[in-house]
Chain A
Amino acid sequence: MYPLTSWVTWVITKKMKISVNIEHSIPLFTQLIEQIKKAVQDDEIGIGDPLPSIRQLANDLDINHKTVAKAYRLLERDGVIQTKGYRGTFIHQNAKENSIVDLNEWVLTELNKTLTSFRDAGITESEMRIAFNNLISKRQN
């Protein structure tokens, strides 16, 4: 029979790992986001589980701190993780549902709906483009 102590050791030492390929065409922050979302979906990390600090993860992966910070910022925006001040970063309570949502896909769908309604109203594509650009630059200012 497999010794109980070995099983206990396996459970204790079994840790969720994250890996990046520094030569891959997919940006590093996207690789981090995708893996964390997948880990949430596969129940490898659960609601409320703590994540390493930006410094720790960046140092362990030997990548720039800003890359990890960007990944965490986007994951927080998507409601997959939440930062609780000095206590650290944790998996959001709605992370499982939120990690399925593809924000880019949602933006495209919503834009498509709006463009269709504009076209139905007789607005030309160049008018839409000018209006859209004006709106973007106004918001940036």
Chain B
Amino acid sequence: MWDNYLLYIAFLGQTFVISYYFPRKILEKINKSMAQHPRIDYPKLYPVADDVINTQLKTFKLFSFFVVVIGIGILAISIINRTEDLIGWDDQAVLVCFVMLQYLPVLFLGTQGYYYLKLMREQNTSEHRIADLQPRKLLDYVSKSLLTTAIFSYSFCILTVLYFIKYPFDGFAGLVNILGVSVIYAGLSVGIYQKLYGKKRNPLQTSEDRSFETTVVIKLLVLTAICSSFYLGISLILASMDLRDLGNVIYSVYLQAFIVYVYQIMKFDQVDYSVYKS
């Protein structure tokens, strides 16, 4: 039963950190940035009308609020019905589905941001285009130690799977685990490549800001790779020891820690806003 209580606490934390704390902080940052850089002084920062921006921010807020309600609902049903697993379903499946739901508002905000940048490019009438005459290299943005950790964690995961192929436990999925982690690594590698050599999305962004953004995004992608492979390896070990529930708790706490870290490294105040002046 103790593991159920642990999971409830972790799930409650996950609901609040990802769907309440994080969206609130993001909105605070956006509103602060908009207040400090009003449309009248920084017209190029606003490719759409204020009403549109406010509606989208409200949608994001509302969307996140609904996810919190759903999270509390899941918890309430599980506690009231005293179910063995969350809402009587598989804990891991509920956690994964709920995380996907939690990321939908963030995805919505990201899509809007992408659309704004597209409009910025369309509205950009400047005839001059500037670029750095230096090649960008992965090691300029991420440390060797972090990359080595990513390779090490991937190897750890693969070796763990190979070990359990030789000594399987009940419910072990086998080689699919290797395929899964490899697909994640491949996807993240494409993301890193795009960030390094892809098109400049924001036409007004200074090279220093772009460099900072690239560093943040690449670091996050590498960290995601490390976390996913380590998590998979650890969860397999826990599952073999019949501690699946503990694995779910770790998964939940892992996500919360990751989100807090993401928030810590997101810094809008270092951006050079002068490029958005008329």
Residues of A that sit less than 8 Å from B by CB: 13, 15-24, 36, 39, 45, 50-53, 55-57, 59-63, 88
Contacts and interface: CB of A to CB of B under 8 A. Distances in A.
B171 interface: no
Interface in B188-209: 196-200, 203, 207-208
A59 B135 contact: no
A20 B129 contact: yes
A45 B133 CA distance: 9
A52 B129 contact: no
Contacts of B129: 19-20, 22, 60-63
A39 B133 CA distance: 10
A13 B127 CA distance: 25
A15 B136 CA distance: 12
B132 interface: yes
Contact of B199 (A15, A22, A59): A59
25 contacts: A13-B208, A15-B132, A15-B134, A16-B132, A16-B134, A17-B132, A18-B130, A18-B132, A19-B128, A19-B130, A20-B128, A20-B129, A21-B127, A22-B129, A24-B127, A51-B135, A52-B134, A53-B197, A56-B197, A60-B132, A62-B129, A62-B199, A62-B203, A63-B129, A88-B135
Interface of B: 127-136, 196-200, 203, 207-208
Contacts of B203: 62
A63 B197 CA distance: 14
A18 B129 CA distance: 8
Contacts of B207: 15, 17
Given A20-B128, A24-B127, A59-B197, A53 B135 contact: yes
B135 A50 contact: yes
A108 B127 CA distance: 33
B127 A16 contact: no
A59 B214 CA distance: 15
A97 B270 CA distance: 42
Contacts of B198: 59
A21 B130 CA distance: 9
Contacts of A19: 128-131
- Looking at B127, B129, B133, B196, the one whose CB has the most chain A CB atoms below 10 A away is B133
A15 B133 contact: yes
B123 to A, nearest CB: 14
Nearest to B131: A60
- Looking at A24, A62, A88, the one whose CB has the most chain B CB atoms below 10 A away is A62
B128 A21 contact: yes
A21 B126 CA distance: 9
Contacts of A18: 130-133
Contacts of B199: 59, 62
Contacts of A56: 135-136, 196-197
A53 B198 CA distance: 12
A87 to B, nearest CB: 10
